[in-house]
Amino acid sequence: MKKVAIFASGNGSNFQAITDAVHNQKLHIHISCVICDRPGAFVLERAKKENIPVFLINPKSYPSKIAYESAILEKLQAFQIDFIALAGYMRLIGPTILNSYERKIVNIHPSLLPAFPGLDAIGQSLKAGVKETGVTIHYVDEGMDTGQVIAQQTVEIAEGETKESLQKKIQVIEHQLYPETLEKLLNS
């Protein structure tokens, strides 16, 4: 069974979806640890409730990105991590981690990449007036949401859609698509 680290910065709803899929035997991985970069992020509570080791590694405590990522890499190596799933992790991954986990890091993004990369993809899609957006799961490379697409699913944008209503629709898809895609990637 693959040992997976989940990186998250916020609420952790995708972390919870992955954890639930493991409990329901729809995803056959071992969630070995959670790496979080933000004190007070709710994902920390979610992980503790699941008895999953959590490492709060605050980048402000390190003199450089290399030092920060070296501290993360040390934890990943200590837990013999095979694969990394980003679940709302709001930082670009640098060469320190990328070089050690080439094509072994995936991310989930709330748009149909390459459209609307980066922050506030939902707001970007609404502002652009497009009729559909979606969810993308992709490999992580050195760019911002530029890695090879693994899976995508569209979400219709209804007339009068709000950011909150669209986010709820997207999260329903995310919480199904991410565990399914991880299962295919890691156990096929």
The residues annotated with a catalytic role in the active site are: 109
pLDDT tens, position by position, 120-167: 999 999 999 999 999 999 999 999 999 999 999 999 999 999 999 999
Beta-strand (E) ranges in 38-161? 54-56, 83-86, 105-109, 132-139, 149-156
Domains by residue range for the chain, with CATH:
2-187 (3.40.50.170)
Tell me what percent of the residues of the chain surpass a pLDDT of 90: 99
How does residue 181 score in pLDDT terms, banded at 50, 70 and 90? very high
Determine the length of the chain: 188
Beta-strand (E) ranges in 43-179? 54-56, 83-86, 105-109, 132-139, 149-156
CA distance 144 to 124: 15
Residue 188 pLDDT exceeds 90: no
pLDDT tens, position by position, 71-89: 999 999 999 999 999 999 9
Residue whose C-alpha is closest to residue 139's, from 126, 149, 152, 129: 149
pLDDT tens, position by position, 7-30: 999 999 999 999 999 999 999 999
pLDDT tens, position by position, 83-111: 999 999 999 999 999 999 999 999 999 99
CA distance to 8, 142, 156, 160, 187, per residue, from 89 (Å): 4, 14, 25, 29, 24
